[in-house]
Structure 1
């Protein structure tokens, strides 16, 4: 789904990631952001993420699981823009392409976990991201964001922090909003490890996603997965 239009359409909120697989923690973060900002959250699966090892499931499987997880949920939508672009999924390239489509005035925000945000200086052209979008940072309990930021990121963020969601609606880019609902104690890495070890992981997954993983033999035995349907 490709968003388009002008600033009158309001804030476009993007939640990128591999979603390998999408789990209840992802959905909790997305719903918290929706509640805080009052707009739909576009979950944007990465085709070829440059900042981590290759995903355990192919892009088609991951996108299909996302679609199943958000079906019927008016607050969340799947955004395939990174899957439709060739090459690696660098966020700065995605945002430049988005700005070419929607123009410079519409507010855009990236929803990211605190772990990803503190690693921002490792991203391609990371400082340019603040000219292209706002950030909404979901914090992890027990890991204060202020204490974890590298000095160069802290200096960049110091004048951008806001406690007001309205500030993200009022300008196209450049502000940082801390999402105070902590990240859930669940990760895709733990889910994949549980599946590989034969331990139950379904409690951490939407039921339809758990069934899909079982049906297509994802994660349990690399190379044995069936094609998505």
Structure 2
């Protein structure tokens, strides 16, 4: 096996050989080498790069890592491997898995909070928005509570250009109502914040529910991509590390 591997490593591959396998440009292959994604290539007497099956395997490992880890982390993983810092490469992989787990926990918290929301109709919005005092009275809270929620990013009023007073438009009132329901349910502010952020991005509860289904799918896709990348890297380390 060792003799066969040594023989294979003496096989010369051109940049175009690596590029064609993955639909890349030869310049991209050269850029990957300069970034440390590929090990440094030997040069022919005429100055041309002489790649080997090891370089082809490194490129396959990188492209397999890319969907799960993203370009910067996948680059850092391969660079660490080629610098002999395998433990650092494994630490970077662990960080990506930890981030995926954190994303799953955030999704779970958002879904749990969503189940506790009362979907009943809200009062019609005030034309032009409402001020902090009337909104606080409508919710049965103090104006100071709304200011605290604003500091936490849960509610984002705009300011009247003439008076500087806070004005809560329809979306800000919705966010305040959501925060109020969840606070009454015992949720801390740091657990409410992700829901409000996703609710704001989606534009309401119904769009958010559809977005959560998509979020589930994306996390599952990323989880499988991490597994695929890990398998490809293990193959590369075993055969060429």
Relative to the length of structure 1, the TM-score reads 0.19
Q: Which has the higher contact order (CA 8 A, sep 6+)?
A: 1
Relative to the length of structure 2, the TM-score reads 0.18
Structure with max Cα Rg: 2
